[in-house]
Structure 1
């Protein structure tokens, strides 16, 4: 007596991701790898000695709060878009952009505070690492602000709404990632400084 084998298709819909979202996730993985390498290098170099001790700029606490508030504003914009609340979408996006710019200004002032403490990019590796961490994060944040501005302009052209969320989802993912990355860097520096 032979048993008949049956193929049962349990998946109704194939697992798929928009190509641009996939590219974004690959980019995020790349950024994680870069900062993982940098923080590892920081720990290794710190253990070798000749490490300048200085206080982290107080403004880092404020910029951390600013980046959290900007993420909250962007999440509000995302929720508003899902409900076709275009006014809420624009307000949330606009505030996220403003807080993103405020974060960048705060980072500039953190560099001013470092210079006032005689911590420079060249010289001791301790200062160099801090400038690289904050500078590289700022470059990514500038690209995030530009991305948010592009999405904000799209809202005025009625290209972002509950039926067209792809660009906003990508911007939200990228922005939340940048916020989490900054919080990771700040906590890393607090714990390893």
Structure 2
């Protein structure tokens, strides 16, 4: 069956479709975890804790990284490859900074007695934020792959699908962190 060019453009790219299915699954997982957090919190043996300042700083970092990846996407589409390389590098570095700040935040929580093997409140916090960090790590790996592709000397193709998928995913983990951060502040 032959499809005209306009009919082909209306179809979603398989990588984008797969990513949207994955994002839906991730949303359901975090919705379930945050719902369980609320239920367990109301059972009475909940240990109160303060959100570490590192989580505030990491929130600012991930917000800036969303801006840099959006600018990288625009630069790629405009074929400004030097600018694209710089911005994809900055975004990957900001992702790493986010994870390091989160790690220090976990250390701060641990020092105040909030532990994975302690009260259920700490376990929930560590599991939920830890799972988010795993998803950020996946995004950082994707950004590192994009980084190496941007600097390789082989013939380049200017398909923007890869950076579009990476950008959408990165915005997603950003929005997910904002949701989790506000959730912990509000529900705490």
1:57 to 52, 61, 86: 52
Residues 160/169 of structure 1: CA separation in 2 closer, same or farther (3 Å cut): farther
TM-score by length of 2: 0.92
Deviation at 1:160, TM superposition (A): 6.5
Distance 1:41 1:53 in 2: 16
Name the structure where helix makes up a greater proportion of residues: 2
* 2:7 equivalent in structure 1: 13
RMSD, matched Cα: 1.4
Residues 1:120 and 2:88 are matched in the alignment: no
* 1:32 equivalent in structure 2: 27
Q: Which runs of 5+ in 2 are unaligned?
A: 1-5
Equivalent position SS for 1:13: helix
Question: Does the CA-based 8 Å contact 1:63-1:106 persist in structure 2?
Answer: yes
* 1:3 equivalent in structure 2: none
What do residues 125-160 of structure 1 show as CA deviations (whole Å, max 9, x unaligned)? Answer: 111111011110111111100000101111123676
Relative contact order, higher structure (CA 8 A, sep 6+): 2
TM-score by length of 1: 0.90
Distance 1:150 1:82 in 2: 18
Bigger radius of gyration among the two: 1
Equivalent position SS for 2:139: helix
Distance 1:116 1:154 in 2: 41
